[in-house]
Each structure stands twice: as structure tokens, then as C-alpha cells.
Chains A and B, each alone.
Chain A
Amino acid sequence: MNDMPTPASIGLSREDLPNSYIGRSVPRPNLPKLVQGRATYTDDVVLPRMLHAAFLRSPHAHARIAAIRTEAALAVPGVVRVFTGADLAKVCDPWVAVLDHLKGMKSAPQHPLPLERATWQGEAVVAVLADTRAAAEDGVAALEVDWDPLPAQTDMETALDAGTVVIHPELGDNLVFTRTATKGDVDAAFAAAHKVVEATFVTGRHTGVTLEPRSIIADYNRADGTLTVHQATQAPHMMQTVYAKHLRMEEGQVRVICKDVGGSFGIKVHVYPDEVAVAAVARILGRPVKFIADRFESFASDIHARDHRIKARMAVEADGTIIGFDVDDLTGIGPYSVYPRTSAMEGNQVVNLVGGPYDFAHYRCTTRVVLQNKAPTCQYRAVGHPIATAVTEGLMEMAARELGMDPIELRRRNMIRDDAYPFTSPPGMRFEGLSHHASLDKLLEMVPVARIRADQEAQRKRGVYRGLGFAAFIELTNPSPFMYGIGGARISAQDGCTVRMDPDGSVVASSGVTEQGQGTEAILAQIVAHGVGVPVERVKIITGDTLNTPYGGGTWACRGAGIGGEAALQSALALKAQILEVAGAMLQAAPESLDIVMGHITDRATGAERMSLHELGRIVYFRGDTLPRDLPRELVQTRHFITKEYPFAFTNGIQACWAEVDTDTGMVKLLEHWVVEDCGRVVNPLLVDEQVRGGVVQGLGGALYEHCVYDERGNLLTTTMADYLVPMSAEMPDIHVGHVETPTKESLLGAKGAGEAGTAGAPGALMNAINDALAPLGAHVLEQPFTPARILAALGRF
């Protein structure tokens, strides 16, 4: 615990104040503009002299670029310029996506457009700039490129074999990163175990599918030497650094503006070569350049994720006590590690998180991260968590079946005790405070297990197969510099907020965290209103502008509420203290005797209104002459926050899924889904519940439908919304959400992240439900997505 003030010590009466907004389901202030079509997405921004970019993308998974002929494209009406990789390399330096703390990691230099070879189908190779996007596409169609196709490395299982295609010969092999975490003596412990269950799990390569595709306008102004980038991104300050560094500018010469963003899910926190190409082109042309990815480009060039094969074993005692886990994870990440967060994180998370909810002694987990000629993979919502959870919880259900134990009882026996914290897990994760047992108890209050088991039994007699599956999980949120900063990346783990009061008593807060549709601005407004003491309608929030917000990391890894929210609370409380000092001088009262309630200075003891903030503002800003000469009157305060004690604020939870499998067609019908999660302090229950539900839906999507399918030559077969199936509302079950609140003691607010819990647990819960349904038939499925073909094959139906 750091020396942060507690609610009692600063006199914050959280529950008693009329403007106590923390913990309240306040409607999102920015919702009307979103639903009325009055939001400002990057594509809504139109600048004078703006050009549009379209890219010729590689039709091959791996090919040498023998020649590029541009004459015909340049002759297309409306086409202004054509740029190749060599053209852009003159102004833009390549990047290598490795982090120092990921020992031994390697990757190849990547340019905005490749110089010699295309290494995945869909990689942008040539940029055409034109007056309109349509003309730019006409120009792309008129380009002539001579390709020398090369053999493609597409199977991660053979990526490290002798004689395989080495995608970047200068690296020596296709191994990007490997790490093994060990604890105890796995071999001896497993040899002596009562029982060992083992299985090979596969998680399908899928992607984030944001409603708004990747979008950017880069505008280099030669008059003042500045680059202004309008971009749909989660991390404006990180992008500012990237553009400055690789276009050889000062960070202060680059401004990144990020207005409304239509969904991100991690997809928009990475550096995409085509977007850097747009910035480089703008740098060369001195004109604004817009690029909006279309859906085809999204599928072929947005990051993919979760392409893993996991061989896993778990050893148990006869009484169900877990002895340990032994896991071998293999993941293919495409031809480059993605800049600057790297593509090793997902495998690394698997190593960190397997077995997460449980107390056991022996652990060995290895990840190997290898190159492939497919679209690059990187961090997508709940990075690594759904994989680790499915493996852990899949093994738990197998063990329960083998031991003849109730799967709930098996979990209860092994979960880390609620009074055991602080606790360090076998792979070295430090938990400040989790609530596995309380969450399980809460879940069992919500899930009518006895009724469900009776129904399951009755339905089986009718040939209807239903299953109930559980998945407990931990989730890593509120990351410290231990995630990226110590690896050398300029990705900020701290975040700041500036809160000011204007003359009319309204409050404006600018924050370094960002909004992508999840409601970040809504919770910031609640926190600031709560902290200062004004109605939430009186608070305006500014995010997404490197020139006008305190330096921060943005919104990812579930840090918006926990980090950005705490900075907002601390700055709001500081502003409140400043306002009360001024008010005390005006009212000739001790500041401690005053309070601010719903925009009025009140007497703390009696609650009597003494003065409105509007009146206070009038005097401070227009009649400062009437105030004591030395009175500080800066009605603006900035605070920054960073976690100090723990590298991450872990959250926990447990899910249950009730599903029916049609054993003739292999179709899975989702009947009902339950989640209990503990994200610490809940700032806005409505938003947290919807985050959980949205996360569950994305998790179920990856487990049932979503799949980036490549053929053996590296051709992407799922390039439209008709082939790449996202979960739709008609197929989704009712999702019940319950909460246990274990606030983090690192902050006054006590909030941890809530955005990824749903995705972390849902695939494992569904897998277990399906396998519970299939158990009487002697079948099970372990390879996601759980398609009708896989289920029917498991049942031996064809």
C-alpha cells in the first residue's frame, strides 16, 4: 500500500454525497452523438488539398517483387503519385519489433512498404495517391507488378524443422521467441501422481473486426514543420513517438488527434505499415493523405491473434488436489513481430497465466513463437487469457471426469484461498487480492445447477444433449512499466488528467486515456463529477489529442478506469481542495468546514448552501481584485498516476455456460451464460456489465464462429463478412453478470480493469459445456472454433 490518502483521511464521503457518481449507472454523455450520427470518426474529417491512398497488396503469401511498372497507373485520371517501398525508405526508417526484457527475442526490420519481398498475402506493396479513393483504386488496378512466387511457410508445426523455408534468412531460423517458466520438479511430481490428464488444444486464428476499420489522415505542414495525424488509435502518445522516430522528426513536431473511434479491441493499438506509409507519403508530398481500410483490407492486414497449439498435462492427487501443470505452447505470428508491443506477448501470457486460479506446486510451461507467411498476429482483447483459461479449465473438467468428482468441488478444492493474499503464482505473477471462492459462491447463487443437471438428465433420455461448463480465470489489468517500459518501448504505463473549472462553474477534464466506444469518457466524467462535487452534466471530457491532454498510455490492457480513472479522481480532488481554499477566503470560513455538493459550496456540518460555483467563478475570473492578494486561485489541477507495488492488478472471475449440441447436425445452441467477475471498484455497473457481455460475445465468437482460414499455400480464404463469421445477436444467449468487489489498494478509486474478463473465460466455459454434452457419447472437441464439422467428426458421424 502506498501513501495515498484514504477516503476517510480526505473526508470523501463516497456514499453519502448527492453527487456520488462512483458505482452508479449513469447514462453515457457521449451516447446521443453516437446514435444520432453526429460523432466525428476519422473518415468524417475532410481537409483541404487532401489525397486518398489505396494499396496494391500482395496476392502471394511469399514472393519476390521482381519489377513494378507504374506508367499506366500514373496515367489514370485523378492519380497523383505512386510510391514503392524504395521511395518511402528515403524518408522513413524501418523498425524491429523486439523488447529487451523478452530475452533472446528477434525479428526482422520492417519497412512501411517492403523493399524486395512480400511475406504475406495482403501485405501492402505499392501506394497509389489520387484525388479520390475510387481513382486510387483504379490506379492500383493499372499497376503492373512482376512477382517471383517463393515457397511459403504456413504450418507452424514445421516452422523450426531443418530444411524449412526460413522467412528472413538473416535471422537464421523462424524462431522469434521462446520462454520456459518452471517451478518445483515437474517430472518427478508427475511420475508420482495419482493421475495425469493430458490433451492437445488448438485455438483458431481470428481477428477483432471493428465496426470502424483502421483509419488515418496524415498531414505534413511544410510551413511549420509539423505532422498532424488524425487516427483511429487506442494510444495517441505512442503513435506520436512512432511517427517522430521513424520519420526523423522531434516528438514535439508530431500531433496525433483521435476523435471518435468505432471499436478497437486491441486491433488499433499497433503500428501498421500501411498507416506509416500514409504518414511517410504526407511527409513527402506536404499534403493531407487519407487512408480508410476497407473490409477486405481489414481481414488481410489487421492483426490476427490466437493461432496456438497447446499440448498440456495436469497431474492430480486422488483427492483432486492439483500437483502441477506441464504445458507446451506453439504459436505462429506471421512474418514479422508487430511493432512496438511485439507478437511474443500472447505466448508469454500463456506462460504467465496457465493454472492461474489455483494453488499448486509444480509448473513447467514453454512457449515457442514462430514465423509464418500469414498476416501478423498481435495483441487482441484478453491477450493470451482465453488460451490459458481454456487449457487450464479443459484439463480441470477432464480431471473431474477421470476422478469422478464434481467439477465445482474440484475447483473449490484447488482455488487460491480468499485470505491467502498477497500470493505469488508458480510462474511468478503476484496477486494483491483475488476472490475466487467468493466469486464461485456468487456464481452458484446465480446458476441453478440442480435444476440444470435434472434437465440435462431428462433431455438425454429424449436424445437431446445439453452440457454445463465452467471456467474460472484471472485477468491481468492496470499494467505497470513491467509490461512494455522495461523492454525499452516508449509506451507509457502512467497516465495523467488535468481538471479545470471554468467561470460558469463547469468542469473540463482532459485525460491521456482514450475512448473507443466502451464508455471511457463516461466513467471519467462520473469520477470527476464525484471528485469535484458537480452534477455529471457539468463535466466535459477531452481525450485523444497529444497536444491537449496530459501524457499517457491510452486505453488498452484494461487500464482506462484503473489508471486513467485514478488520475482523474486525484486531479478532481485536488481541484476541489483548491476551490474550497478560494471559497474559504471568500466566505471567511475554514476550507475544512466547507464542501462542494452538486455545484454549490456548502457548509459541511449543516449542508447549507453558501455559494454557487458559478458565482465563485465569476469572482475568480472577473473580479480577482476583490480576493486577497496572495490567494492561490489556479482552478486547474493535474495529477498523474502509476501503480507502484504490483506489476499488474489482477482480477478474477468465473463463468458458466449452458449449451445444447445437435448431435445430428453438429450445431451448438447457446442456452444461457453466467459471469461473476471481480474488477475491484465498479465505477459504472451498466458499462461494466456491457463490457462483460461484449467480451463474452467476442469470446464465444472465437470459440464457435470466427476463423481466419488459410490454405496450405498461404491464401486467406475468409475475406468477407460472409466467410468470416462474427457472432450475431440471434445466436447469443442471455448473459447474466454478477460482481464481487475487491478494490485494489494501490489507488483511492480501487478500480481494476473490466474489459477483457468476458473474453478470457467464455471460450473455455463453452468448450467445457460442449464436452459435458458430448460426454455420454464418448466424444469431445478441443480445437476451436467448434464447428459442426469438428463436432460431427468427433461423433464419428461422417
Chain B
Amino acid sequence: MKWPALGYLRASSLDELWRALGEGAQILAGGQTLLATLAFRLSEPGTLVDITRIPELRGISVAGGVLRVGALTRHAELGRDALVARHAPLLTQAVPHIAHPAIRNRGTIGGSLAYADPAAELPACAVALDATLVLARAGGERRVKATEFFTGLLTTALEPGEIIAAVEFPLAGPSQRTVILEVARRSGDYAMTGLAAVLDLGADGRIASPRLTFFGVGEGPVLAARANAALEGRALDATAIAAAQAALDADLDPPADLHGPPAMKRHLCRVLLGRALQSFTPATEQAA
């Protein structure tokens, strides 16, 4: 299908952006979801406001104890950035799972988080890493935890007139372990189920602060509270993994979709949980 007739406006600064945002305006960043919805006529904004030339929304830096990733950071940039690899390696691991190279070259982290697709990798990573989103509006900004940001299916805490300016990630400590796993029908597809796993593994082999976050199984990223609680403080071994798998069921309420029924998704989540934790065990690390 063809796009509906619409206006296009390019903002070159935040001030210009605030003046442009109004009734019927839709922010355009990487456009990897938005442009397809225009072609399907699922959305008919009056004006597209292009924010890709706004310098304040760019850049990756470390300051004040956090890794700050500008909202306009493309997935491909995220994947090859040295600061990201050092301070938030889960993101580096996640990027190859995001769609295909052409999409990674255009799609942005801000766009992915704002769209909040429940099967997308970056929202889950933001939750798993306990990230904070910097939301800007005319005359100010506020900070919202990723766990509070995703409020439902394709919905977020963003208010009208507000945009994501950046995402702040806590710096990874030396004991942090991360992995992202998914089951996707084909490479680059949205995951049938996915898991972004973050935890600290002490020298004593005990787990601290586990943040297993599943995606593709609910209305947004699912931080598996009970499974995480089952792991907290325990030695990472088969018993701990089994306990977490047993606890996981109560964390999940996956919908049926084209790939299969909820019971299959629950099963796949247990499999991914097992595989993720297995990958952190010393034997596995040595073998790798």
C-alpha cells in the first residue's frame, strides 16, 4: 500500500522540536517500524517530525557512574561501540539478534524503546540492566526506570510532548554475567521467546541481584520476579536452576500466538532459563 498524504518537518534542535510537536505530529527517528505502519495505513499522522539531526540526542558517554546512550544511537553503532562493550556487554550481545543488518543500520535505541514491542530485544535489555530512561520535554526532563517505563502492550510512560532523550545504564561490575538467548524461527525474526539474563556471580559461586528478563511472552518485558528470588544468594548449580525453573511458571502469563500455545512458551522459557544459567557455570565458561 501507499502512504497517506502527510507533512514532513525536520527539527535540527530540541527547541525546534518542541515548537513542532503538536496535534497530529509523529516523531520519526530510524523509521523501521513507523514507515511500515504508514504503508499499512495503520497510522495516519498529520506530520512526521524528523529528529535524526538533533545533536542533543546523539552520542555515547560515561559520566556520573552511568553509561549514557543517546536515543538516536543506531543498533549497529550500539553493537560496535567500545564503551558499550565494556560497561554494558549485554547490549553488545543483543545487537546481532536485532532483525537484519539493513534494519540495524537505521533503527535507533530510542525508537525501539518508545515503540515497546514485547518481542523486541532492547526493551528487555533495558529492564534486565535496570536502565533509566531520560525523558525530555519542553522546559525540562525527568528520569524513569525501565521497569516503570513499559506500561502495557505497545504503551509506555511517555506523555504527549515528551521524547526519549537518552538511556542510562549502570556500569557493569567485574562479577556481572550476562547473556541473551532467543528461540526465533529464522535468524533475524522476532523471538518466539527470548531471555536477557543479568546477574552477579561472586567468587564464592553465589548469585546476587539476578535480573532474568523474558521477552516475547507478554505485553512487555517480563522481569521474572519469582525465578529471580529463587536464585538470589544461592550457589549456581543444578538445584538452583531447577528451583528457578519451577518458580518461573508463576512469573509468566504468555498469550497464544501464531507460533504456538501459552504452554509451549512456558516450556521454551524454562529451556532458555536453563541454558542461560548453564552458560554461567564455571564448567561451561572453561569449555568456552
Show the binding face of A for B, using Cβ within 8 Å: 132-134, 137-138, 141, 294, 296, 664-665, 667, 705, 709, 717-718, 720, 722-723, 725, 727-728, 730-731, 787-789, 792-793, 797-798
Contact = CB atoms under 8 A, between A and B. Distances in A.
Contacts of A133: 2
Contact of B2 (A134, A717, A730): A134
Contact of B190 (A294, A722, A727): A722
Given A731-B187, A788-B192, A141 B41 contact: yes
Contacts of A788: 183, 185, 192, 259-260, 264, 268
- Please provide the 9 A-B residue pairs with the shortest distance between their CB atoms, ordered closest to farther: A789-B260, A134-B2, A798-B267, A798-B263, A730-B187, A664-B271, A798-B264, A665-B183, A728-B186
B258 A723 contact: yes
Contacts of B268: 665, 788
Interface in B258-286: 258-261, 263-264, 266-268, 271
B55 interface: no
A137 B41 contact: yes
A418 B4 CA distance: 63
Interface in B124-170: none
A485 to B, nearest CB: 40
Nearest to B259: A789
A798 B1 contact: no
A138 B4 contact: yes
A718 B271 contact: no
A133 B192 CA distance: 36
A465 to B, nearest CB: 15
B5 interface: yes
Interface string B168-199: 00000000000000010111111010000000
Most buried by B among A133, A141, A731, A792: A792
Contacts of A138: 4-5
Contact of B1 (A294, A665, A793): A294
A723 B138 CA distance: 39
Given A296-B40, A788-B259, 4 more contacts: A722-B189, A789-B259, A789-B264, A792-B260
B189 to A, nearest CB: 7
B8 interface: no
Contacts of A664: 271
A730 B186 CA distance: 8
A497 B16 CA distance: 67
Contacts of B186: 705, 725, 727-728, 730-731
Most buried by B among A137, A722, A787, A798: A798
A141 B42 CA distance: 12
Overall SS of chain A's interface? loop
Contact of B3 (A134, A723, A731): A134
A728 B188 CA distance: 10
A798 B254 CA distance: 14
A787 B267 contact: no
A667 B192 CA distance: 11
Contacts of A787: 185, 259-260
A797 B3 CA distance: 45
A137 B2 CA distance: 7
Nearest to B262: A798
B38 to A, nearest CB: 11
16 contacts: A137-B2, A294-B1, A705-B186, A718-B258, A720-B40, A722-B190, A723-B258, A725-B189, A728-B186, A730-B187, A731-B187, A789-B259, A789-B260, A792-B260, A797-B267, A798-B266
A141 to B, nearest CB: 7
Contact of A792 (B3, B187, B188, B267): B267
Given A296-B40, A788-B260, A789-B260, A665 B271 contact: yes
A707 to B, nearest CB: 9
B99 to A, nearest CB: 10
Contacts of A296: 1, 40
Contacts of A294: 1
Nearest to B2: A134
A722 B4 CA distance: 22
B141 to A, nearest CB: 34
Nearest to A790: B260
A789 B260 CA distance: 6
A667 B193 CA distance: 13
Nearest to B268: A665
Contacts of A730: 186-188
Interface string B214-253: 0000000000000000000000000000000000000000
Most buried by A among B5, B258, B271: B258
Most buried by A among B4, B266, B268: B268
A710 to B, nearest CB: 11
Contact of A717 (B5, B187, B258, B260): B258
